[in-house]
Amino acid sequence: MNDLRDAIETSVQLRLFPSIKRATDALVFGNKFKKLSISQCKHMDNFNPARLSDNPYPKNDRPRGSRDIESVRYHRNRLRTVGETSPIWVYYDKVKRQYTLLDGAHRIVATYLEGKRTIPAFVVTV
């Protein structure tokens, strides 16, 4: 539920939807589950592709401090034990043919570091 809440908040902050209610309706009722390739993630709006490296969070560039590293470690462990992590949330603009990350940057990094080629995603298209 936290992932969905964060995705809703991000979609409103990015002005993809005018209100929490509209964003909630779109994300809850307008999503499709897909597997996205990690290469698609490299080109998403709202995601820094420099994070897809052996050192995704250098000391001087950690938006959430040590929690960035802890979160990536958590998701890497989940990938090792379960085989997948929880889906990321993305918005797809049909006109621009562009994905925008709403929630899941640490999951993308963990998936990349574990050598996986795809990541589960809830894709919202309006």
pLDDT on residue 14: 95
- How far apart (Å, rounded) are the C-alpha atoms in residues 121 and 104? 9
3-state secondary structure of 90: strand
- How far apart (Å, rounded) are the C-alpha atoms in residues 37 and 108? 10
**Could you count the other beta carbons within 10 Å of the beta carbon of residue 41?**
26
Strands 88-93 and 31-37: unpaired
88 pairs with which residues across the strands? Answer: 121
- How far apart (Å, rounded) are the C-alpha atoms in residues 26 and 68? 28
Digit-by-digit pLDDT tens for the chain (126 residues) are 688 999 999 999 999 999 999 999 999 999 999 999 999 999 999 998 888 877 666 555 545 555 777 888 899 999 999 998 999 999 999 999 999 999 999 999 999 999 999 999 999 997
Closest alpha carbon to 27 in 45, 48, 10:
10
pLDDT on residue 52: 84
Contact between 113 and 56 under an 8 Å Cβ cutoff? The reply is yes
98 pairs with which residues across the strands? Answer: 93
What residue ranges do the domains of the chain occupy? 31-125
Please, how many CA atoms are within 13 Å of residue 48, restricted to the half-sphere of its CB?
9
**Domain over 31-125 is classified CATH 3.40.109.10:** no
pTM, full prediction? 0.88
Q: What is the pLDDT of residues 94-120, one digit of tens each?
A: 999 999 999 999 999 999 999 999 999
